[in-house]
Amino acid sequence: MILQLIDVMIGLSLVYLIFSTVASALADLFEATRGMRGRLLERGIRTLLARVVTGDGKLAPVQDPAALLRALYDSPSIYSLFRDDYEPGGRRLPSYIPAERFASAILMLAENGELKQDFTRIRDTLLAFSGVDVAALPPAQWLDAAHAQIVAYYNETMDRVTGWYTRLVRWRLFIIGLLLALVFNVDSIRLIRQLSEDDTLRQNLVSQALIDHGDDGALMASSVVDTVDDDAVQRAQDQINRQLALVESLGLPIGWTRAEWQRVSNTAPPANAEPGTPPRRWSVGRLLASGAAWSKLAGLLLTACALSFGAPFWFDLVNQLVKLRTSIKPDERARKDAATASSGGDGAGDAALTPAVVRIEVAPTQAPVPPASGGVPRGTAQPSGEPS
């Protein structure tokens, strides 16, 4: 019973892994066209440059934050991280700026350039926020200490930007997951019921999970689209095609059929109707009165919530469940062997063992069954995003 429950959890988690990988790939496609990572990073840097400490120790807004932001992005330390010229809110902004480059750009602009005075105030403000009195250090150590403090404060701010992007990706994956659940009819409640009752389906999914848990694990991890570049669209499309092909090969109980729609919408002909009776007319009232419709809605929403966790979460969970299963399987086999041996003294026990011996001896003469092929790529999101 415990082993069957673990197998159901493995099968359900594998389905979530497959579709969350598709959702992450679609999110990467969207990210490749919108460039939200770069925009959020630009927003976070804008907050760093927006206010400075005045002589009386109070914060005051800068006069032209857009000009400061342009000067920073056009500096040699950052300009080399993206192509084309800087465009506020553009789609080709860098999605990642190392803290060391940001600190070098601030210190350089505070010493040279048309906005030298403004960046000097920004530099002093960032150092004041760091909580360390850099000015008290010897001149020979001042530059390195200032660079280190700006790096530390920048990293703290980027943690907040990471939180912005994580929430954005979570909502994006939820919406994409809900659309996938609706289109493919990925009903979690129905999947749990089918996995509990269908031994063949359950074993197929467990076998696939065992394959992915082996040598193909590195391949799955390397197929995640974490960065946005010109190849992101093609890689995301290949990812989606592989997952949909895997779904079809596993024979999952998903997809819409006429009978399924009539059951959910409560439009199927009465049970005592004559053959050929047309279905009943669809209506909103009939749909709302259908218990199957509410159950279907709950199952689809549960799937969408599960996919919003992202492919890496389900990949790790599948691996943990497979390890748990492999640790329990030998113990159960040993208990069964011990129970069989304890009853082996009577004739009934010997008779029960005989068919198993015959099957083992005959099995080599049959054609071997090839293992299931393919693998489930490991999922993002990257939010990392990129997902892609």
Q: 336-348, pLDDT tens digit by residue?
A: 555 555 555 444 4
Among 172, 221, 219, which Cα is nearest to 29's? 172
At residue 253, does pLDDT exceed 90?
A: no
DSSP character at residue 281: P
Residues 6+ apart with CB under 8 A from 77: 101, 102, 104, 105, 108
- Positive/negative CA dihedral, 240, 205, 261, 294: negative
Query: pLDDT confidence of 331, banded at 50, 70, 90?
Result: low
The four Cα atoms 277, 280, 281, 286 give a dihedral, to 10 degrees, of 180
List the single range of 68-82, 109-123, 222-236, 318-332 with lowest mean pLDDT: 222-236
The pair of three-digit structure tokens given for residue 368, joined into one six-digit string: 């071997």
Q: Give percent of the chain with pLDDT exceeding 70.
A: 73
pLDDT score at 174: 95
Residue with tokens 């996995």: 195
Confidence of residue 274 (pLDDT cuts 50, 70, 90): low
Element (H, E) at 3: helix 2-34
Do 360 and 5 meet the contact criterion of CB atoms below 8 Å apart? no
The pLDDT value recorded for residue 229 is: 52
How many other C-beta atoms are found inside a 10 Å radius of the C-beta of residue 131?
Answer: 9
Asked if pLDDT for residue 117 goes beyond 90, the answer is no
What does the pLDDT average to over 305-324? 91
The model scores a pTM over 0.85: no
| pLDDT-derived band at 365, boundaries 50, 70, 90 | very low
CA 361 – CA 341 distance, rounded (Å): 20
The three-class DSSP label of residue 137 is coil
Q: What is the mean pLDDT of the chain?
A: 76
Domain positions in the chain: 2-33+169-270+279-335, 35-168
Residue 335 tokens read as: 């208990």
Strand partners, 313: none
